[in-house]
Amino acid sequence: MNEPHTSARTHVTGESEFVDDRPATRGELFVELVLSAHAHARIKAIDPSKALRHPGVAAVFTAGDFHSNLWGTIFKDQPLLAEQVTAYHGEPVALVAAESREAARAGRSLVEIDYEPLPALLSIAAARTANSFIAPAREIARGDAKVAFLAAPRRLEGRIVIRGADHFYLENQASIAYPREDGQIEVHSSSQHPTETQHVVAHALGLSYKDVVCIVKRLGGGFGGKESQAAPFAAYAALVASKLGRPARVILSKDDDMVITGKRNPFENLYKVGFDHEGRLLSLEVELYSDGGAYADLSTSIMERAMLHCDNAYFIPNVRIRGQVCRTNFHPHTAFRGFGGPKGVATIERIIEEVAHAVGRDPLEIRKLNCYAPEGPRAVTPYGQTVRNNCLPKLLDRLARDSDYAARRARIRRHNEESLSGSDSRTLRGLSLVPVKFGISFTTRFLNQANALVLVHRDGSIQVSTGATEMGQGVNAKLARLVARELGLPRDHVRIMPTATDKNANTSPTAASSGADLNGAAAVLATRKIKARLSELAVSLLEIPESRWARHTAGLGTEPEIQVGPVAINEEDPNFGADWETGVASYHGMRFENGSVFAANSPKRHLSFAALVNEAYHHRISLSEHAHYRIPGLSFNKLTGQGDAFLYYTQGAALSEVSVNLDTGELKVLCARILMDLGRPVNSGIDLGQVTGAFIQGMGWVTTEKLHYNARGALLSHAPSTYKIPSIQDTPRDFQVELLPNNDSRASLNGMKAVGEPPLLLALSVWTAAHDALKSLEAYRRTYPRLELPATQEELLRGIFPEKFRHWEIRPGAGK
């Protein structure tokens, strides 16, 4: 099935409503944030008097105005407003509420704060030296990596530097809070996690959860940046609304958003790898160090996923992976598409390329040699999970064949030889084909649950409420299709409602690529409960003359009511009782197709779905239902580092061919070919859009998106003028995406597989292709080029002319 995004028309016409599109209501206040001017400082005094005298300023609030000033997704260690000490440049210190945005912005510049600067930790190296860490180190191990490394015929050691990146969502952080009767608060937020936003607001104001409702209609992009970090902005708006009894609006500018909010965690990873003369991996030791920033946020879970993906597509018999989060004086870093997975995969893919260079073989050969086997002991990960439904060898073979890998490699070799021998061309070309195996589930077990509410109205139309938030990824289109398919209706008969905590409570964030898996399963289970009742009713109705149906007789009470019984629903298996090919469950021999309901053995006798629903109402049969779904079989033990961490793996492969200009360092992606295993897609059009979008976003991460901070820890690149995201001109001119048919994916609802995050990691093929291009230079005949990530134009020039750049090197620890 290939249908458009549910908001396609309203997006194009400009009718789609985002938080700041909500009309200002009577008495509404605008809120601006006063930010710390230091990375680390003691707050000696805050003087709001000048701001309060400014026309239009209604109030200034500080940390003491909150009932509870601490919040945090995993550890409650972060103040909503800095109270005694500021821990990063740009940390919110005070709120200014005013009658207009202009007055609020003027007022915040008038709040005077007296600081005493303190020493700041502004690098991973500095944090390690100071033993400044967030939570204890973690480990995943198998075999004896140290002994195997010493016994290996060949050995390599290295370090990989992975910088941070900004989410750069189009809609900045945004919240509006409305005071309601009896002390209640209604919050409209651009949040991926309405439940957490509800809870943070309630704690901040000293309310119970029942008194706070968070509503999310849609987000203008999230990418993980609104999973946890949307919550404090809702709390700011709610504080003003609660204290002043007036609606309050917090809408960040792009500059403020980038300065305040955390990024993709920077990592610095150390590795030792032992291998044989063929390039077969025998041992791997990795030490992962991430920059968590000033507070914990989600960094420990991000580190865990980085550790779980250090194997990527490869079996390594002896492994020791250690991860440690460092506490620094930068904004607290947070979730970003791929979570920690990209950092683990980048590390092992650099290792694979380096091993191939050392043994003098094509990297694709080394990837195939070490790839997970379809079954047996070489199909087991370092944490003890078997890679089932393993498509990796097939993906590598087919993409190499379909993209003419061998012929491309030969052409590139000739091109580079000519470029380096004095031809007019001043470019080098590189080629890389990279696989990805991405685990699908939250690695924190209790988050792998969802609930849904389905309402069938008397005209046959349907409303569905779940915990999923629509942020452009098309989850609403998938949910609507799943419910409509189950009832044999067109998709436009189903409306997915705004996510609200008074309809779906205790929900998980829309994250970990699991929004459609979790909420889709819950919605289908709820729909099937209603469908079973309607099916039993239909059996009876088809045996009764229509003149005796309840719509004609119920008012008079001349006919007995038809009673229906319950149906068994398996909350851990959404495929239970469903036909595998169609994904649809049948009850009492009835079929729902094309808006009609009929017995499978007698299709000529039928009634319309709307008529059946109306009859159900007149027989007092419930037309609403709630269901809960939990992912089964998850057994990962965080302390031992062993167990099944994921329900299944989304897999893919990408080939990238790049050109690097020897004079300027400019990189162009000439070709990208992607082959993805997405199981059995419910909407292949949306999935293809997700693959292409994720890959382009990943290209930005690995090539152009570099954050720059000054020596005091202040972010300098906080606008599109200084932070380079990909444009249409960066799109590969030869760009092809194909989905691998996979009818054997049976772990999730009807075999569909998650698509949100995995394709981003495929962009690492662009980064490794850049290394491949530089390998042709004389300087890298024996050693492997070690580019930072992102491989910016400057970084590539540094790789081309390493000697010329040496005197410009920044001393270690001086900057980020």
Q: Range of 131's domain?
A: 121-165+263-382
pLDDT for the residue 815: 44
| Residues 217 and 327 grouped into a single domain | no
Q: Looking at residue 475, what DSSP letter applies? A: H
Residue 58, pLDDT > 70, answer yes
326 and 417 part of one domain? no
Beta bridge partners of 430: 658
Encoded tokens for 307 = 């550790």
- Model confidence at 569, pLDDT cuts 50, 70, 90, reads confident
- Taking only the tens place, the pLDDT of each residue in 88-100 is 999 999 999 999 9
User: The CATH number of the domain where 734 resides is what?
Assistant: 3.30.365.10
C-alpha 133, offset from chain centre: 25
Any domain includes 1: no
Query: What's the token pair of residue 405?
Result: 């890998």
Is 80 exceeded by the pLDDT of residue 813?
no
Are both 296 and 371 inside the same structural domain? yes
Of 681, 607, 244, 610, the C-alpha closest to 461 is: 610
Are 283 and 190 members of one domain?
Answer: no
Give mean pLDDT, residues 770-778.
97
Has residue 40 got a pLDDT over 50? yes
Mean pLDDT of the region 580-603: 96
Collapsed DSSP state (helix, strand, coil) of residue 391: coil
What SS3 class is residue 479? helix
Report the phi/psi class of residue 17: left, alpha or beta, with left for phi > 0 and alpha for psi in -120 to 50.
Answer: beta
Torsion of CA 15, 18, 21, 27, to 10 degrees: 150
Distance CA 501, CA 708 (A): 39
Contact status, residue 180 vs residue 238, Cβ threshold 8 Å: no
Residue 3 lies in a domain: no
**pLDDT tens, 358-406?**
999 999 999 999 999 999 999 999 999 999 999 999 999 999 999 999 9
Does one domain contain both 218 and 297? Answer: no
- Same-domain status, 691 and 553: no
Within-domain flag for 637: no
Q: What average pLDDT does the segment 616-631 reach? A: 97
268 has a pLDDT exceeding 60: yes
| 423 pLDDT higher than 90 | no
Does 1 have pLDDT greater than 80? no
What does the pLDDT average to over 258-268? Answer: 98
Considering the domain boundaries, does residue 2 fall inside one? Answer: no
Residue type, 520: G
Residue 513: which pLDDT band, with cuts at 50, 70 and 90? very high
Please indicate, yes or no, whether residues 374 and 476 belong to a single structural domain of this protein: no
Domain tally, the chain: 4
Which of 216, 245, 260 finishes a domain? 260
Question: What pLDDT is stored for residue 814 in this prediction?
Answer: 42
Residue 635, domain member (yes or no): no
pLDDT score of 811 more than 70 = no
Q: How far apart are CA 458 and CA 768, in angstroms?
A: 58
Judgement on whether residues 497 and 403 belong to the same structural domain of the protein: no
d(C-alpha 197, C-alpha 232), whole Å: 8
- pLDDT tens-digit readout, 584-594: 999 999 999 99
pLDDT of 810 strictly over 80: no
pLDDT tens digits, one per residue of 108-137: 999 999 999 999 999 999 999 999 999 999
Assigned domain for 636 exists: no
Residue 571 has what pLDDT?
87
Amino acid at 214: C
pLDDT for 422: 82
Non-local CB neighbours of 120 within 8 Å, separated by 6+ positions:
38, 39, 40, 329, 712, 713
733-743 average pLDDT score: 96
Active-site choice (757, 794, 795, 809): 757
Query: Based on the domain organization, do 609 and 558 belong to the same domain?
Result: yes
Is 546 marked active-site? no
pTM exceeds 0.95: yes
Is a pLDDT exceeding 60 seen at residue 816?
no
DSSP 732-776: -SEEEEEEPP-TT--SSGGGB---SSHHHHTTHHHHHHHHHHHTT
Query: Is residue 703 domain-resident?
Result: yes
pLDDT at residue number 803: 85
**Both 624 and 516 in a single domain?**
yes
Percent of the chain with pLDDT strictly greater than 70: 99
Q: Please identify, among 571, 595, 630, the residue that sits at the C-terminal boundary of a domain.
A: 630
Are 680 and 742 in contact by the 8 Å Cβ rule? The answer is yes
181 located within any domain = yes
Q: Are residues 208 and 270 in the same domain?
A: no
The answer to whether residue 759 scores a pLDDT higher than 90 is: yes
- Last residue of one domain, picked from the residues 202, 233, 260: 260
Residue 645 structure tokens: 């961490």
User: How buried is 118 (Cβ within 10 angstroms: 0-12 exposed, 13-18 middle, 19+ buried)?
Assistant: middle
pLDDT in tens, 660-671: 999 999 999 999
**pLDDT, mean of residues 547-555:** 93
| 121: DSSP letter | -
**Cα–Cα nearest to 293, from 230, 238, 335:** 335
Evaluate whether 678 touches 749 at the Cβ level (below 8 Å).
no
**Are residue 550 and residue 670 in the same domain, yes or no?**
no
